[in-house]
Amino acid sequence: MDNSGILIYAQLTREEYIHTVFYELVDKAKELSKKLGDVEVNAVVFCRVGLCETFRESFENKGLNKVYCFEDDRLKEYSTEYYSKLLVDLVGVIKPEILLIGATNQGRDLAPRVSCALGTGLTADCIELDINDKGQLAATRPTFGGQLMATILCKTYPQMATVRPNVFKINQEDNFYKTEIVSCPVNLSGVDCHVKLLEFKKTADTVINELDSAEIIVAGGKGLKNEKGFKLLKKFADKIGATVAASRAAVEMGLAPSTIQVGQTGKTVKPKVYIACGISGAIQHTVGMEGSTHIIAINNDENAPIFEIADTGIVGDVFEILTKYLD
């Protein structure tokens, strides 16, 4: 195997910031690098002309060895064709042993295309990454509808994985390192870009972002029973300055929009306090919130699985408890 080092895709937001999932991946990659004998941790970024240098400080503070920078005004907007072609070309030249991409909408579009073009495996939506005793990437993700966790190895290189935002912690320490910014030639000849962005309309993403950064989340489940229950939940959330989330059962009952669903097929959140109200604690829900610093559960069934992961458990009727607090 002549592949070496870890390459991380640095996704940019529409506002031209580096997406936070990148920083989460860098800190995890550094742990992996140590286990691989301190291999290089590098990044790749695609952007409009002149933008890359503005990120130098962020890259250096994260202690990256090299950042491969593709600058071209055709790369200002994400393009499946352009980005995947350039990433595949880069991987062919630098031959990383691991390629990590955030499981954002963009990452979920880019990663399979790249893995397919490279003829390598991709473990998508991972919740843990490690290096096994043979030096291989051991990527863990939920499987069989979330009933099991599978640790998957890849026989080919680079070993690719996508990881959801908010799964790994960002290490707040500064790690200053003189990062080398490598300016890469943008060769897009022969690539047809089939999609042109005509207009961008913001949707419910604002709510999604609120959940991403919320310090306190109050989540409602089927135990809230109806719209009245969710109104009570919202009132309680407003009183304590919390953001509202929901279980899938609540979403399926039409009590909450799918944009605020937490769990395997929803968001992964990591607030300081997560208050689960009338939520049983199915694994498909808990994978999305178990990284919260403090979990409080309110449930009238003392055997509800949610109490197994709760730091504070309140056995009782959620309506009575929330109403009492609002009085």
Ligand X SMILES: Cc1cc2nc3c(=O)[nH]c(=O)nc-3n(C[C@H](O)[C@H](O)[C@H](O)COP(=O)(O)OP(=O)(O)OC[C@H]3O[C@@H](n4cnc5c(N)ncnc54)[C@H](O)[C@@H]3O)c2cc1C
Query: What does the binding site for ligand X look like in residue numbers (CB under 6 A)?
Result: 145-146, 221-223, 247-250, 261-266, 278-280, 282, 284-285, 288, 298-301, 304, 317-319
Q: State the DSSP H helix or E strand holding residue 100, giving kind and residue range, or none if neither.
A: strand 98-102
Q: How far is the CB of 228 from ligand X (least distance, A)?
A: 12
3-state per-residue secondary structure call for 189-206: CCCCCCCCCCCCCCCCHH
Is 221 or 313 the residue whose CB approaches ligand X more closely?
Answer: 221
Is 262 or 310 the residue whose CB approaches ligand X more closely?
Answer: 262
Q: How far is the CB of 114 from ligand X (least distance, A)?
A: 26
Q: How far is the CB of 209 from ligand X (least distance, A)?
A: 18
Residues 6+ apart with CB under 8 A from 150: 140, 141, 142, 143
Q: How far is the CB of 264 from ligand X (least distance, A)?
A: 4
Q: How far is the CB of 315 from ligand X (least distance, A)?
A: 9
| Strand arrangement of the beta sheet that strand 41-47 belongs to | 122-126, 159-163, 98-102, 6-9, 41-47, 66-71, 180-183
Task: Write the burial class of residue 119 (CB in 10 Å: 0-12 exposed, 13-18 middle, 19+ buried).
Answer: exposed
Pairing of strands 66-71, 137-143: unpaired
Find, among 124, 129, 123, 121, the residue nearest to 155 by Cα.
121
Is 249 or 310 the residue whose CB approaches ligand X more closely?
Answer: 249
Q: How far is the CB of 270 from ligand X (least distance, A)?
A: 15
Task: Write the burial class of residue 98 (CB in 10 Å: 0-12 exposed, 13-18 middle, 19+ buried).
Answer: buried
Is 63 or 288 the residue whose CB approaches ligand X more closely?
Answer: 288
The token pair at 39 is 């291999």
- CA 41 → CA 68, 69, 96, distances in Å? 11, 15, 9
Q: How far is the CB of 170 from ligand X (least distance, A)?
A: 23
Task: Using DSSP, state whether 238 is helix, strand or coil.
Answer: helix
Find, among 233, 219, 215, 212, the residue nearest to 273 by Cα.
215
DSSP 156: S
Is 63 or 263 the residue whose CB approaches ligand X more closely?
Answer: 263
Is 179 or 247 the residue whose CB approaches ligand X more closely?
Answer: 247
Is 58 or 247 the residue whose CB approaches ligand X more closely?
Answer: 247
Residue located via tokens 């990044």: 43
Q: How far is the CB of 15 from ligand X (least distance, A)?
A: 27
Is 121 or 278 the residue whose CB approaches ligand X more closely?
Answer: 278
Q: How far is the CB of 98 from ligand X (least distance, A)?
A: 27
Is 104 or 247 the residue whose CB approaches ligand X more closely?
Answer: 247
Cβ-contact 165, 104 below 8 angstroms: yes
